[in-house]
Chains A and B, each alone.
Chain A
Amino acid sequence: MSAVTQPVSSRPILRATRCVLRVLIAALFLFAAVTKLFDPSSFAQQIANYQLTPWPATAALSVFLPALELCVGICLLLGRWESGALVWVAILLAIFSGALLSAIVRGLSIDCGCFGRSVENTGTLWPLIRNLALLAVTGFLWFSRKNK
């Protein structure tokens, strides 16, 4: 099989790149999950700062989002159910980016809340740019899967 027709996942350098990026996303999601799981009440307040959801939904999200991030991070780290995990990574990043964009448009001066209270004073613009970059990485991981 020529190099041109070879699947991406069978080329050693791309396979290694793919592995590094998968672990990077896994580590980011695990870090985000653990920092939020330490104090869901505090994370709920950070979600409330976006003024997008009523309080009961905000409280539910403050326990659901870290749980989902944790599951996704573990799946990506272990390389199990990777396709399903990538679906959730893309959905979560799209939702987070939408929330950040709406905060920027409405002129809200709030903290991202992406990593609970462990990383503060990040604003909203840089986290949005980071999320879009991570979405591109997720796209690469999705389209370079071995078993599509």
Chain B
Amino acid sequence: MTALRQAGLILLIALGLAGVTAAVHPKRPSFLAPPRDPNEVTLAETKQWAEKVLWVDARSASEFASGHVPDAVCLNFENWSEEFPKFLDLYTPGQRVVVYCSATSCQLSREIAAKLKASGVDGAYFLEGGWEAWKQQNRQ
């Protein structure tokens, strides 16, 4: 049997297996829309929280310098070792922390929120729409 014929048969079997996975797997993904991450919050949701939110800006220092959410802390992978202790000084255990990056397309906020959770900050969330969403809603 030629290599291409074998490859075709492997493809057919894989498609069958993928079909079964898509139909019956308990953790199959939704094909219509991505599931909402439980750690993702909208700006409207953060405004409903009674206590003061600690904002974390996951963008670069230069982007932070050109504009950020008031009282936000600049914390990203590059400055983590220097800035994380300073973040802990401002953080009150149990407080909600919301991380943001540039816009919906960036993943940094999600990753920094996950790193914060792994570091013991249980109430770490990331902002849907990031800095762009915050700017839009606070333009007036």
Contact = CB atoms under 8 A, between A and B. Distances in A.
A45 B34 contact: yes
Interface string A57-99: 0111011101110111001000001111111100000000000
A81 B4 CA distance: 10
Interface residues of A, number: 37
A71 B17 contact: yes
B35 interface: yes
A121 to B, nearest CB: 10
Given A64-B15, A108-B107, A87 B3 contact: yes
A2 B94 CA distance: 76
Contacts of B27: 38-42
B48 interface: no
Contacts of A41: 27-29, 35
A58 B13 CA distance: 20
Interface stretch (A7-15, A16-24, A47-55, A130-138): A47-55
A68 B14 CA distance: 5
Given A83-B6, A86-B3, A40 B21 contact: yes
Contact of B18 (A49, A58, A67): A67
A70 B105 CA distance: 31
A25 interface: no
Contacts of A51: 105
- Which range contains the number of B residues in contact with the other chain? 20 to 34
Contacts of A27: none
A67 B105 contact: no
A125 interface: no
Nearest to A55: B34
A48 B37 CA distance: 13
B49 interface: no
Contacts of B25: 37, 40, 63
A67 B77 contact: no
Interface string B11-38: 1011101100110010111111111010
A88 B77 CA distance: 36
Contact of A67 (B7, B8, B21): B21
Contacts of B2: 83
29 contacts: A39-B27, A40-B28, A41-B28, A44-B29, A51-B105, A55-B31, A55-B32, A55-B33, A56-B31, A63-B18, A63-B21, A64-B18, A67-B17, A67-B21, A70-B14, A71-B14, A75-B6, A75-B10, A83-B2, A83-B3, A84-B1, A84-B4, A84-B5, A87-B3, A87-B6, A108-B107, A109-B107, A109-B108, A110-B107
Given A37-B21, A55-B32, A85-B6, 8 more contacts: A58-B29, A63-B18, A71-B10, A81-B9, A84-B10, A87-B3, A88-B10, A109-B111
